[in-house]
């Protein structure tokens, strides 16, 4: 079981994503479009979105495929799936959302997903081989796997700029560890390939996916102080320390600000496999 991740995403981290849903959807929209295009090209009929968060990718695929297809979003965060359900209901989209851990979730016996996707939702499994074996059991014989995961922290300096700038003021901030569950847990493509093949997936292909992402400049302070490792520890700091951290973080992000937008080059992997 992923107890640590379940606790994290059902607490302050999950609520922070709910609160910043619109900004995050805009930031990661280019990746969402890649998966929606894949689903449309394959004419998928039964789609599973792993780590669906507040539903952006699931909903985008449901819009593209229409009522003839069934889309299911799965996430361990109850606050995020609750918002995803509300969004689907508002648009009357053919999409369902379940709060569950894909590593251990008992899919229905008649589960027959012909496409399994994820936008940054598969790097958090405690036992990734077990997780992808579980997903393999829920797939049709000719199902396709299409995942987007982050490359390394070095390839994505924007994603770690806040914690690096804040480190002198917050020495207790937890360090990221390679290959452990977390944002950059799938940075090593050889490890990812081995995980998927051990779990039963074949024809594994991994290629770089680089896109420019944007965020409204007015949302930057909330983005850097509410999300990620910094967001999890900053609330416990005193007022003076928080002010020092915010000043340092703003300076660190200055090179990314272009007028009223923040623009960053995001480096991911596009990971494909077949059942």
The whole-number pLDDT of residue 1 equals 52
Considering its fold, how many domains does the chain have in total?
A: 1
Rounded to two decimals, the pTM is 0.93
The residue segments making up the domain with residue 8 are: 3-152+177-212+266-274
Residue 127 included in any domain: yes
- DSSP 3-state of 64: helix
pLDDT < 70 positions in the chain:
1, 109-111
Residue 242 included in any domain: no
Where does the chain have alpha helices with state H?
Answer: 3-9, 12-19, 21-27, 29-42, 56-65, 78-91, 128-137, 157-166, 189-198, 220-226, 228-234, 239-253
Q: What is the pLDDT of residues 218-237, one digit of tens each?
A: 998 888 878 777 777 777 78
Residue 70 included in any domain: yes
Residue 144 included in any domain: yes
The whole-number pLDDT of residue 172 equals 74
Residue 65 included in any domain: yes
Instruction: Identify which of 83, 79, 27, 25 has the alpha carbon closest to the alpha carbon of residue 57.
Output: 25
Residue 22 included in any domain: yes
Pairing relationship of beta strands 261-274 and 202-216 according to DSSP bridges? antiparallel
CA distance 43 to 41: 5
Q: What is the CATH number of the domain that holds 54?
A: 3.40.50.150
Residue 106 included in any domain: yes
The whole-number pLDDT of residue 232 equals 78
* Structure-block tokens of residue 59: 């909903």
Using alpha carbons only, give the angle 89, 90, 92 rounded to the nearest 5 degrees.
Answer: 60
Residue 184 included in any domain: yes
């Amino acid at each position: 079981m992923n107890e640590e991740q379940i606790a994290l995403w059902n607490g302050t981290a999950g609520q922070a994503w709910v609160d910043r849903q619109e900004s995050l959807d805009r930031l990661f929209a280019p990746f969402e479009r890649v998966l929606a295009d894949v689903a449309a090209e394959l004419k998928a009929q039964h789609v599973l979105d792993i780590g669906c968060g507040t539903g952006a990718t699931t909903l985008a695929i449901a819009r593209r495929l229409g009522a003839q297809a069934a889309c299911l979003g799965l996430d361990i965060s109850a606050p995020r799936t609750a918002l995803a359900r509300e969004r689907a209901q508002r648009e009357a989209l053919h999409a369902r959302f379940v709060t569950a851990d894909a590593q251990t979730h008992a899919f229905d016996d008649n589960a027959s997903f012909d496409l399994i996707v994820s936008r940054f939702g598969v790097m958090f499994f405690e036992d990734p081989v077990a997780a992808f074996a579980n997903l393999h059991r829920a797939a049709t014989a000719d199902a396709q796997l299409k995942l987007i995961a982050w490359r390394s922290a070095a390839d994505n300096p924007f994603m770690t700029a806040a914690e690096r700038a804040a480190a002198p003021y917050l020495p207790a901030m937890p360090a990221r560890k390679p290959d452990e569950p977390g944002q950059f847990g799938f940075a090593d493509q050889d490890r990812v390939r081995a995980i998927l093949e051990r779990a039963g997936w074949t024809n594994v292909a991994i290629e770089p996916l680089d896109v420019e992402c944007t965020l409204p400049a007015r949302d930057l302070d909330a983005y850097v102080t509410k999300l990620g490792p910094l967001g999890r520890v900053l609330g416990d700091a005193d007022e003076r320390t928080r002010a020092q951290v915010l000043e340092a973080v703003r300076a660190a992000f200055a090179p990314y600000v272009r007028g009223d937008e923040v623009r960053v080059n995001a480096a991911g992997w596009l990971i494909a496999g077949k059942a």
